[in-house]
Amino acid sequence: MPSFSNKFVTADEAVSHIPSHGQIHLSSVAAVPHILIQALCRRADAGDVCDLHFHHFHTEGPAPYSEERYQGIFFDQGFFLGPNVRANVNAGFADYLPVHLGETPGLYRKGIISLDAALVSISRPDSQGRVSLGTSVDCSVAAVESAKLVIGVVNPNVPFAYGNLIDIDKFDYLVEDDTPLVTADFAQPTPTEMLIGKNCAALVEDGDCIQMGIGALPNALAGELSGHRNLGLHTEMFADGLLKLIKAGVINGAAKKIDTGKVVASFLLGSQDVYSFIDRNPAVDMRDVAYTNNPFIIAQNPHMKAINSAVEVDLTGQICADSIGTRIFSGTGGQLEFVRGATMSEGGMSITAFASRTLKGKNKIVPELNPGAGVVTPRSDAHWIVTEYGAVDLYGKSLQERARLLISIAHPDDREMLERAAFERFGSHFAIVK
């Protein structure tokens, strides 16, 4: 790398240029630049910096920037929470910034968050001096464009993915690191999840374009789609379940109206097979989340099927997906963006899928949302709701009709309680048609 070798410095030297009272962006999910975070911690331990605010999506690995021990020095304000910061956010040592993920690049580009530094993991440059953000494009493109100081961690394990390439000249400092990206091996689907996957798959037809997340339930759905043909994929992220469908030719994008023949995503978490698959693969575009999550972009692919999850759903169809009562669990994410994009799509459909009960046996179809719960998808946007007991469409239905439908797919042991709650809410004329 002779033309820009003068930009290479140590991690400690690179972060020494970050001013106190600064706003910092971190690349996220599997590609967190831990070497720079560790250097910032050393600087903090030496008393050389204070009042740094961090912004990012879900991050994997240690998150010292959210910890109590760095109060007054670091303060985390993530756009989406993972397990590594959840307890600290709910204890008040860190915070959550509510925003649709597709709008996060605009926070940087419009100066609503004035970034002092962007810390991102990048691939080795190609012959034209361009680098890829690999598995974590998300809002990192906007961060690189907008930050006063841009530091790139050049890592040979970051795949060179097409979609949003960046000129190496955009970086003020470069740091070398060969730490492997974080991988994730999601649990095998349970029998309940398999039933939910089967009920969702019944709503997907050949030629549809799909969006779903990661985890055991999406993997269960992916397994049920193996007999489908000519599916497209336009999503925030994907993992190994969908990779199997891509390699089998089930997902080929042939019926997509835009990005035809391409897999489009913004960030990834999965096995090394997923990361290797996107490396220099012209059939995959890793794009700015402002593109992947734009409802007007999503809607351009006909028969878009957006499949998302929920923490709980009340009897009127209000969908909570970001919190358990007042305790923030994850974030708004891109759920409503895909819900609206799918419903605007010709022949499109929004699907919310979840188990009728939690692993601890608590019902997830509830008379009312827990106090403080966040409504991520309003009742007016709720369409298909799927559990292991079936699938119902709430769109165009009144409150009482919705209650009857939702009770019909609740856990059998919860239905009598839900019927009583509906009777108390809607009056003596409410009755379940047996």
Q: Which residues are catalytic?
A: 236
Alpha-carbon distance 405 to 317, whole Å?
A: 10
Strand partners, 409: none
Distance separating alpha carbons of residues 164 and 184, to the nearest angstrom = 24
In whole angstroms, what is the distance from residue 349 CA to residue 307 CA? Answer: 9
Q: What is the DSSP code (8-state) at residue 136?
A: B
How far is Cα 231 from Cα 397, in angstroms, rounded to an integer? Answer: 30
SS3 252: coil
Tokens of 227: 């007999």
Decide: 219 and 240 in contact? Cβ < 8 Å. yes
For the beta sheet containing 95-96, the strands, ordered from the edge strand earlier in sequence to the opposite edge, are 95-96, 74-78, 52-55, 23-26, 117-122, 149-154, 173-176
Query: At CA 331, angle to CA 325 and CA 333, rounded to 5?
Result: 140
Which residues share a beta bridge with 76? 54
Question: At 420, is the secondary structure helix, strand, or coil?
Answer: helix
List the one residue out of 284, 275, 278, 299 whose CA is nearest residue 253. Answer: 284
Strand 304-308, strand 284-286: pairing? unpaired
Neighbours of 62 (CB within 10 A): 14
CB atoms within 10 A of CB 400: 17
